[in-house]
């Protein structure tokens, strides 16, 4: 049975991604283009979101893999993953990402000329950041493709042995509210022992910490779906307990990084608080979403399909819009609201009129080739029997 709460969570988290990338324009962290004034206070809400935003996406993706294998053989699943992940990645690298690199080169004074003097003659020369070829924010797609194919034999084996000793043990620990914190062990070992030696690059090759960390979360998502009835009962029943854990974890984590200089003791403590915090928030989100969001609607149907193209398109729209205001003296709020509105509106226009209605374009952005109705037809029609 379809979990509508997972669909809502997916839409919600990808919506936060747009807000997060808009925030990157203002925060004093490195990004492709920056506002003429940076605001240090933005680090705190962004740090809060950043702890669990990507981890829960990989968990949800692992859960989606469980459902995808319900309807496909391993071979069909592999071909479907390549079609829905690799093809949009190639299209994105050819058409969607180059405008971002072009704007960055213009803003940094590294290129002078029109876009069509840059693309395609300069757009694919060398690998970013020294060169111009990049997948930028689309890095999520090759990682997800790698995990899907590499872990497929494990997933098939788990599905063939639903009553095996390992899954019986998983079901037993998941049934207890504190049992879900056993999942912290591999996350903590990776965070404390691997992360110090491998900076996250999103380049795939040599990005060992990201590969290890995100693949574990992806595997967790699939694993939790093998005992899903027990898991959903545990997180809904104990959602308030997990909320207290999450608030405590983030408070202690923030206090630690603000109060102490780095040392071996601080590192291992910080690693534990970090994974405890992110896993607690993931359990909170699953618990409350399962309680209040597990219901269908026509708005959800539209948004659930739109979220993938929005993810592909949004950062290009944000960077182009940001380029035109980066040196204006508007203040934070006007610029922030302008970028939010422009990003959502621009992405929606490109999706609704440039992608969704065209059967031959839809697969290029990871959508099925079915005939699409308009937005108003989708969310405004009345279901039969109502």
- 210-220 pLDDT, tens per residue? 999 999 999 99
**Among the listed residues 187, 229, 239, 216, the one whose alpha carbon sits nearest the alpha carbon of residue 58:** 216
Does 330 score more than 80 pLDDT? yes
Q: What is the C-alpha separation between 110 and 101, in angstroms, rounded?
A: 11
Query: Greater confidence, 369 or 332?
Result: 332
The answer to whether residues 309 and 87 touch, using CB atoms and an 8 Å cutoff, is: no
Please determine, for residue 379, whether its predicted confidence score (pLDDT) is greater than 50.
no
Query: Under a CB-based contact definition with an 8 Å cutoff, are residues 367 and 46 in contact?
Result: no
333 pLDDT above the threshold of 60: yes
Task: Give percent above pLDDT 70 in the chain.
Answer: 96
Residues 345-359, mean pLDDT to the nearest whole number: 96
User: CA 190, CA 172: separation in Å to the nearest integer?
Assistant: 24
- Mean pLDDT in residue range 125-137: 96
**Taking all residues of the chain, what is their mean pLDDT, rounded to a whole number?**
93
Looking at residue 29, its pLDDT comes to 94
Identify the band that residue 376 occupies on the pLDDT scale cut at 50, 70 and 90.
Answer: very low
pLDDT digits (tens, 9 = 90+) for 138-182: 999 999 999 999 999 999 999 998 889 999 999 999 999 999 999
Instruction: Report whether pLDDT(325) > 50.
Output: yes
> What is the predicted pLDDT for the residue at 71?
85
Query: So what's the pLDDT on residue 262?
Result: 81
Structure confidence at residue 381 (pLDDT): 36
Residue from 229, 145, 154, 216 nearest 183 by CA: 216
Peptide bond just before 120 cis, omega within 30 deg: yes
pLDDT computed for residue 363 by the predictor? 96
- As beta bridge partners, residue 127 has 133
Q: CB 32: neighbour CB atoms within 10 A?
A: 24
What's the pLDDT score for residue 293? Answer: 95
Q: Buried b vs exposed e over 330-361: b needs ≥16 C-beta within 10 Å? A: eeeeebbebbbebbbebbbebbbeebbeeeee
The widest CA-to-CA distance across the chain, in whole angstroms, is 65
* pLDDT tens digit sequence for 95-118: 999 999 999 999 999 999 999 999
The predicted model scores a pTM of 0.93
Q: Please, which pLDDT band fits residue 372 given cuts at 50, 70 and 90?
A: very low
pLDDT per residue as tens digits for the range 276-318: 999 999 999 999 999 999 999 999 999 999 999 999 999 999 9
- Candidate from 26-40, 83-97, 368-382 with smallest mean pLDDT: 368-382
- Residue 246's pLDDT is 97
What is the average pLDDT across 32-54?
A: 95
At 249-270, the pLDDT tens digits run 999 999 999 898 888 889 999 9
Nearby residues of 261 by Cβ (< 8 Å), 6 or more positions away: none
């Amino acid at each position: 049975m379809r979990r509508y709460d997972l669909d809502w969570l997916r839409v919600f988290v990808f919506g936060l991604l747009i807000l997060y990338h808009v925030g990157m324009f203002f925060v004093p962290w490195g990004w492709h283009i920056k506002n003429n004034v940076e605001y240090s206070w933005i680090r705190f809400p962004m740090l809060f979101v950043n702890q669990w935003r990507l981890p829960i996406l990989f968990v949800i993706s692992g859960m989606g893999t469980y459902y995808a294998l319900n309807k496909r053989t391993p071979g069909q699943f592999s071909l479907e993953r390549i079609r829905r992940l690799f093809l949009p990645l190639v299209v994105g690298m050819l058409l969607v990402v180059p405008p971002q690199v072009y704007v960055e080169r213009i803003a940094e004074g590294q290129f002078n000329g029109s876009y069509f003097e840059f693309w395609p003659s300069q757009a694919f020369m060398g690998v970013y950041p020294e060169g111009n070829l990049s997948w930028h924010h689309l890095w999520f797609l090759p990682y997800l493709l790698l995990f899907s194919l590499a872990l497929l034999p494990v997933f098939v084996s788990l599905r063939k042995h639903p009553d095996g000793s390992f899954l019986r043990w998983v079901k037993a620990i998941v049934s207890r509210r504190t049992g879900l914190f056993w999942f912290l062990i591999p996350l903590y070992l990776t965070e404390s022992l691997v992360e110090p030696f491998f900076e996250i690059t999103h380049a795939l090759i040599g990005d060992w910490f990201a590969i290890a960390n995100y693949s574990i979360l992806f595997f967790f998502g699939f694993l939790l779906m093998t005992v899903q009835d027990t898991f959903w009962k545990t997180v809904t029943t104990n959602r308030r307990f997990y909320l207290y854990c999450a608030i405590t974890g983030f408070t202690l984590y923030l206090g630690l990084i603000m109060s102490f200089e780095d040392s071996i003791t601080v590192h291992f403590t910080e690693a534990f608080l970090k994974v405890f915090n992110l896993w607690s928030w993931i359990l909170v989100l699953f618990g409350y979403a399962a309680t209040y969001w597990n219901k269908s609607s026509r708005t959800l149907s539209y948004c659930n399909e739109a979220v993938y193209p929005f993810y592909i398109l949004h950062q290009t729209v944000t960077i182009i819009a940001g380029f035109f205001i980066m040196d204006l003296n508007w203040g934070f709020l006007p610029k922030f609201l302008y970028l939010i509105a422009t990003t959502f509106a621009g992405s929606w226009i490109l999706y609704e009129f440039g992608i969704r209605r065209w059967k031959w374009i839809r697969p290029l952005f990871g959508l099925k080739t079915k005939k699409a109705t308009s937005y108003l037809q989708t969310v405004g029609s009345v279901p039969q029997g109502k």
